[in-house]
C-alpha cells in the first residue's frame, strides 16, 4: 500500500466524504487528518507494534485507524456518530484486526471491553485524534478508571496539551497539570498545523503522550481532598494560596486553622498556587488530615 492509497490524503478523504454525502457536525468536533506522515509520527511516538492492543476514540472515516491496523495487533475504536459506521465498514474492510464500537467512550466500560477484545499478553495503549470540545473529560475519565492502559498518545488543542504537561511557575501550570501528572508522565511530542485537517480547526494542535505511572506520583491520605485543595488553590490565580484556601473553605475552617495547615506543610501562605509542586500540594493535603 502506497501513501496515495491511504485514507489520510486530501484526494481520498474528499472522495469518501463525497461518496457518502457526509457532512461534518460541529457539535461532535469532527476534524479528519489528511496527512499520513503525521499519523505515522503519532504511531511511532506511541510505540505501537505487533505486541500492542490499541483503543482509538473517534475514528471518523478511519484515517488513523487504518495506520493503527497496519502496525498494531488489534484495534478497537469507539465511534459515537452512527452515520460513520457504514463508512468505516467500507474503508477498513481489508483489516480483520479492527472492531468498531458504536458507543460514547464516557459511558463505556473500558475494562470490560479490554477483556473482551484483547489477549492478556498485549500492551494496551490509547491513540486518538480527540474531539477538542471534550478532551479533558475523556482523558480524566480514562485515567481515573482501573485499567491496564500503559500509555495515551493523543492529538488535542495545543493550549490544553501545554497545560497538561506544564511545570510549576509557568502560566500554563494549574489544577489540570497536577491532575494529569498525578497519574502519568506527560510530554508534548510535536505541534501540528491546522492545514493537516479537513475541515481546518481554528486552533493549532499538539500530540501529547501520557505514560501511566505504576502508582500515583505522590501519596495522599485522601485523594478527593487532595484534588479539592488543588482546585481551590487555583480559584483566583492572582490571589495567594492562603487567601484562596480561606475563601474556599470558609464554611469548614477559619483563617487560623488554614494558617496551621500551611505551616504544618512548610508552605508560606503568601505564595501563589502556581508556585507549588505536586509534592507540596500532597504535603498540604495530608496536613488537613492531621
Q: Which residues pair with 99 in a beta bridge?
A: 76
Q: Which residues contact 195 (CB under 8 A, 6 or more apart)?
A: none
On whether 5 is known to bind a ligand per the annotation, the reply is no
On whether 109 is known to bind a ligand per the annotation, the reply is no
Please list the rounded mean pLDDT of every run of 10 residues in the chain (290 residues): 78 95 80 94 97 97 97 97 96 97 96 97 97 90 94 96 97 97 98 93 94 97 96 96 97 96 97 98 94
Q: Which of 112, 126, 133 has the alpha carbon at shortest distance from 57?
A: 126
The predicted structure's pLDDT at residue 5: 83
Phi first, then psi: give them for residue 250, nearest 5 degrees: -60, -25
On whether 33 is known to bind a ligand per the annotation, the reply is yes
On whether 104 is known to bind a ligand per the annotation, the reply is yes
The predicted structure's pLDDT at residue 4: 58
The predicted structure's pLDDT at residue 2: 53
Determine the straight-line distance between the first and last CA of the chain, rounded to whole angstroms.
63
The predicted structure's pLDDT at residue 181: 97
161/157 Cα distance (integer angstroms): 6
What angle in degrees, to the nearest 10, is found between the helix axes of 135-144 and 175-183? 40
On whether 58 is known to bind a ligand per the annotation, the reply is yes
Domains of the chain plus CATH, in order, are: 3-212 (3.40.50.150), 223-288 (1.10.8.100)
The pTM of the whole model exceeds 0.85: yes
Phi first, then psi: give them for residue 207, nearest 5 degrees: -100, 125
On whether 256 is known to bind a ligand per the annotation, the reply is no
Q: Which of 54, 59, 107, 99 has the alpha carbon at shortest distance from 79?
A: 59
Amino acid at each position: 500500500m502506497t501513501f496515495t492509497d491511504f485514507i489520510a490524503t486530501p484526494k481520498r478523504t474528499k472522495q469518501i466524504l463525497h461518496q457518502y454525502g457526509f457532512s461534518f457536525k460541529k457539535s461532535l468536533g469532527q476534524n479528519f487528518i489528511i496527512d499520513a506522515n503525521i499519523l505515522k509520527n503519532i504511531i511511532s511516538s506511541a510505540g505501537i507494534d505487533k505486541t500492542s492492543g490499541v483503543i482509538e476514540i473517534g475514528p471518523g472515516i478511519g484515517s488513523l485507524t487504518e495506520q493503527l491496523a497496519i502496525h498494531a495487533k488489534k484495534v478497537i475504536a469507539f465511534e459515537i456518530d452512527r452515520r460513520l459506521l457504514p463508512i468505516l465498514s467500507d474503508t477498513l474492510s481489508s483489516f480483520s484486526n479492527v472492531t468498531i464500537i458504536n458507543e460514547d467512550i464516557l459511558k463505556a466500560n473500558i475494562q470490560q471491553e479490554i477483556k473482551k477484545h484483547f489477549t492478556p499478553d498485549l500492551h494496551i495503549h490509547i491513540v486518538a485524534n480527540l474531539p477538542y470540545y471534550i478532551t479533558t473529560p475523556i482523558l480524566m475519565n480514562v485515567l481515573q478508571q482501573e485499567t491496564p492502559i500503559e500509555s495515551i498518545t493523543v492529538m488535542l488543542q495545543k493550549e490544553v496539551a501545554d497545560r497538561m504537561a506544564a511545570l510549576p511557575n509557568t502560566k500554563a501550570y494549574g489544577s489540570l497539570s497536577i491532575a494529569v501528572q498525578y497519574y502519568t508522565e506527560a510530554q508534548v511530542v510535536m505541534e501540528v498545523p491546522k492545514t493537516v485537517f479537513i475541515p481546518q480547526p481554528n486552533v493549532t494542535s499538539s500530540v501529547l503522550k501520557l505514560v501511566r505511572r505504576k502508582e500515583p506520583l505522590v501519596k495522599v491520605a485522601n485523594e478527593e481532598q487532595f484534588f479539592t485543595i488543588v482546585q481551590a488553590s487555583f480559584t483566583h490565580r492572582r490571589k495567594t494560596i492562603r487567601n484562596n484556601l480561606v475563601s474556599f473553605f470558609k464554611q469548614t475552617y477559619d483563617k487560623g486553622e488554614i494558617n496551621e495547615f500551611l505551616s504544618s506543610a512548610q508552605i508560606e501562605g503568601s505564595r501563589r498556587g502556581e508556585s507549588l509542586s505536586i509534592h507540596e500540594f500532597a504535603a498540604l493535603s495530608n496536613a488537613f488530615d492531621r
